[in-house]
Amino acid sequence: MNSDDKQQPYAPNNDHFIEDIDDEELQELVLEAQREALSKEGLEKTKHKPKHPSPKWLFWIMATVLFFNTFAVIFQIYSIPAIEFLKTSTRLSAQGDIASYKKSVVVITTEDSKGTGFSISSDGTILTNYHVVDGNDTVTVIFPDDGMFKANVVHTYPSVDLAVLEINEEKLPYLSLAEQTTFVENDPIYFIGNPLSFTGIANEGTIIDYTQLSDWEKPVVMTKAPVYRGNSGSPVLNRDGLVIGVVFATLEDDVYGKVGLFIPIDYYYEQQPEERP
């Protein structure tokens, strides 16, 4: 498939790291914000009680306006699609295999950005995108269960937007790489990352096909999947739990609309041929 005449991809921007929030906690935050706002309004009315009582209908109009204003603010921060992918993540994370995969997916932070990476060995080798660590010799890596480490950027491959990090540690969880990227159209995939202001979000999608970008020598793979800023560096896993690629961008496609793009794991092996299993 050729897409030379299509719009260029953009790499998801990175956001600052904050604590993971699941969908139940998010809904509780929305309700708590509403309760606090209504409580504050009630206190203000008590302090400044009017000389003449207001009609009940006026109170209900004000309460309704306050209710919708509260939710409007919340949804400016957490859009409806974001809430939907939180629900999907909660469902997927209840599966034993997905919960296990998540232990190997890390938050990568620099002084001014956040992205995703994943462990590919028990002794601290991390794979991510080059643009996530561009300009840094060291970064901070945060495992969900194993804590925070300083990592050295040991290899960078800008032509395929990949980078390899190393930390001095042992017995870390890691994901297994597929021997090569193989798929058929509509094959299901999982991917795990740190989109928007969240961490450890599991999601799913389907593979569309290879596409050739005008500024890349090699084709990359299009997916129908909810990829957002911060998903850069997320592992793409097949149904056998093997990593077949690395998320790096999105694209507005003429035929499929907004799609996610991932780098086939073959390109990592071409840079590090001794790493092929």
- Encoded tokens for 54: 């207001």
pLDDT of residue 85: 80
CB contact at 8 A, 260 and 233: no
Q: Pick from 85, 92, 68: which is nearest to 21 by CA?
A: 85
The larger pLDDT score, comparing residue 68 to residue 257, is at 257
- Asked if 161 is an active-site residue, the reply is yes
Domains of the chain: 23-90 (no CATH), 97-166 (2.40.10.10), 188-275 (2.40.10.10)
- Asked if 232 is an active-site residue, the reply is yes
Catalytic residue among 3, 89, 119, 161: 161
Tokens 């804590």 belong to residue: 147
Alpha-carbon span 277 to 261, nearest angstrom? 24
State the pLDDT confidence band at 29, using cuts at 50, 70 and 90.
very low
Mean pLDDT computed over 50-66: 59
Q: Which range is least confidently modeled, 5-14, 61-70, 93-102?
A: 5-14
Catalytic residue among 23, 232, 234, 253: 232
CB contact at 8 A, 138 and 212: no
pLDDT of residue 156: 96
pLDDT of residue 83: 73
Q: Cα angle at 87 between 81 and 88, to 5 degrees?
A: 90
pLDDT of residue 233: 97
Write the pLDDT tens digit of every residue in 218-272. 999 999 999 998 999 999 999 999 999 999 999 999 999 999 999 999 999 999 7
Catalytic residue among 3, 119, 131, 253: 131
Q: Which helix (H) or strand (E) holds 151?
A: strand 147-157
pLDDT of residue 167: 95
Mean pLDDT computed over 178-195: 95
